[in-house]
Amino acid sequence: WKTIQEFDLASHYTNLTSYGSEWTYKWSYGYFMQNTKKLFSENDRTILWDHNLDNICAALAVADRIGIPLDVCHQAIKTFVWLPHRMQNLGIHSGKEWIDDAISTTPECTIQAIKTFGKKIDTIFLGGTDRWYNFTELVTYIFDYRIRNIVLFPDSGKKIYDLLLAHVTLRV
């Protein structure tokens, strides 16, 4: 990633707003901040996953630029409702927490979900229509997080299965 300063954009544009962990809008020490001013707690959000902290910062930067008041943004962030099948908690069944993340159709989204739930994941369902994704990094995460049960669906399930077998062979 390059910053506004590294691209020397500030010398050409006067209306730039940066966001992210080190910029104008950022999250730091449990708070969303504008420069050094604490805006509100990062716990005031329904949006899971740490990478969404930067997404919220981007939304705050845009909202500020177009004049949306901070209290309106804060309320939206506190009450945001996910799409169905996107990190949807289905409750506890037989002592296990069930999360429906079926709308996450890329390996990158699945990796973010694995990072979010970590070692709590016991079973994962993968595969479906083959969109020619590379699943190599995903397979590494499956092993690193010790996911015990993997259910695979055609067509891409076969590709994932082959990578899982190759990974096992490499680890032995």
Residue length, the chain?
172
Helix axes 156-171, 136-144, angle to 10 degrees: 60
Most confident by average pLDDT, 12-21, 24-33, 65-74: 65-74
CB neighbours of 72 closer than 8 A, spacing ≥ 6? 63
Q: What are phi and psi of 132, to 5 degrees?
A: 65, 35
* pLDDT tens digits for range 117-151: 888 899 999 999 999 999 999 999 999 999 999 99
CA atoms of 134 and 140, how far apart (whole Å):
12
pLDDT tier for residue 81 given thresholds of 50, 70 and 90: confident
Q: Kindly report the pTM of this predicted structure.
A: 0.69
